[in-house]
Amino acid sequence: MIIDSHVHLKHGNAARTEYSAEAIVEVMDAAGVDRSVVFAMSTTTRRSVEMAAEAVEQFPDRLIPYAYALPSYERSVLGELKEAIGELGFKGIKIHIGECRLTEYIIDPVLELAAEHGVPCLVDFGGDFASTERIARGFPGTKLIVAHFGRYLCTDAALIERFIELAESCENVWLDASGVVLAWTIEEAARRIGADRILFGTDGPHPMPDLVTFARAPLKQIEMLELSEEEKALILGGSIAALLGL
Ligand SMILES: [Zn+2]
């Protein structure tokens, strides 16, 4: 079972590109992906829940919903998140440092709520190691998925090393291998923290060079790693299935 742990119904790019559930499933079929975790960003928490709920209603066997947490001074969004997880069966929470402050009084209640409900937080930390460390160590009961091994398309091996080291010392940390260009760091992480805490993801859909080629590339990247077939199977789906209790 191949599970893409990182797919956008709405991206955080300049155009705020949206993809329909049909479009996402079409790409999955062509690329050979069985199931995908889907979420929207660049929108309100409430709208992100509506978008993911609608998508999963159309493809309940293929798509797995995360809610997008956009808490602020004004609004905690805890009500929306509780409803999504408790009543609608959402499996996780997406957080992005580009749109959400990771300051204690803003993000900590969301991290506590995730721990209470046993769902993971997939956080794009944008390379902010200090925030990642504060959260990983400060919330040992919160399952934390660090997007892109710490920073999207990162070529700074020393920075990635810090995130792997953090995952080594914090068992509540998983590493999302989407948008990782230094492929050998995935092998390195698998050796040190175990493939059961590494997650395959495409961070798609993306039209360059075309939707299907983009989705296949990270899949091939994992398949070509010098890891055992068991380890690859974990990264490609087993790890996220265990994490989400699928
Ligand atoms: Zn993403």
Q: What is the mean pLDDT of residues 92-109?
A: 95
**How much distance in Å is there from the Cα of 4 to the middle of ligand 1?**
12
Q: What is the mean pLDDT of residues 103-111?
A: 96
**How much distance in Å is there from the Cα of 88 to the middle of ligand 1?**
22
Task: Tell me the CA distances in angstroms from 202 to 86, 114, 148, 186, 232, one per residue in order.
Answer: 27, 24, 10, 14, 15
Threshold 0.75, pTM exceeds: yes
Average pLDDT for the chain: 97
**How much distance in Å is there from the Cα of 140 to the middle of ligand 1?**
24
**How much distance in Å is there from the Cα of 168 to the middle of ligand 1?**
23
**How much distance in Å is there from the Cα of 27 to the middle of ligand 1?**
16
**How much distance in Å is there from the Cα of 131 to the middle of ligand 1?**
18
**How much distance in Å is there from the Cα of 94 to the middle of ligand 1?**
9
85 vs 119: CA distance, rounded Å: 8
Which residue matches tokens 């080594």? Answer: 168
Q: What is the mean pLDDT of residues 59-86?
A: 97
**How do beta strands 121-124 and 92-96 pair?**
parallel
Which residue matches tokens 């506590």? Answer: 112
Q: What is the pLDDT of residue 14?
A: 87
Burial class of residue 141, CB neighbours in 10 A (0-12, 13-18, 19+): exposed
Please tell me the class of the 3-244 domain: alpha beta
Q: What is the pLDDT of residue 196?
A: 98
Dig out the tokens for 185 from the structure. Answer: 């760091």
Q: What is the pLDDT of residue 108?
A: 97
Torsion of CA 135, 139, 145, 147, to 10 degrees: -10
**How much distance in Å is there from the Cα of 6 to the middle of ligand 1?**
6
**How much distance in Å is there from the Cα of 95 to the middle of ligand 1?**
10
**How much distance in Å is there from the Cα of 179 to the middle of ligand 1?**
8
- Count of C-beta atoms within a 10 Å radius of residue 63: 22
**Rg (the chain; Cα; Å):** 16
**How much distance in Å is there from the Cα of 238 to the middle of ligand 1?**
20
Q: Is 235 helix (H, G, I), strand (E, B) or coil?
A: helix
Q: What is the pLDDT of residue 158?
A: 97
**How much distance in Å is there from the Cα of 78 to the middle of ligand 1?**
22
Residue 120, pLDDT > 90, answer yes
Residue 86, pLDDT > 90, answer yes
**How much distance in Å is there from the Cα of 186 to the middle of ligand 1?**
18
**How much distance in Å is there from the Cα of 228 to the middle of ligand 1?**
27
In the chain, domain spans: 3-244
Residues 125-176 pLDDT 10s: 999 999 999 999 999 999 999 999 999 999 999 999 999 999 999 999 999 9
**How much distance in Å is there from the Cα of 7 to the middle of ligand 1?**
7
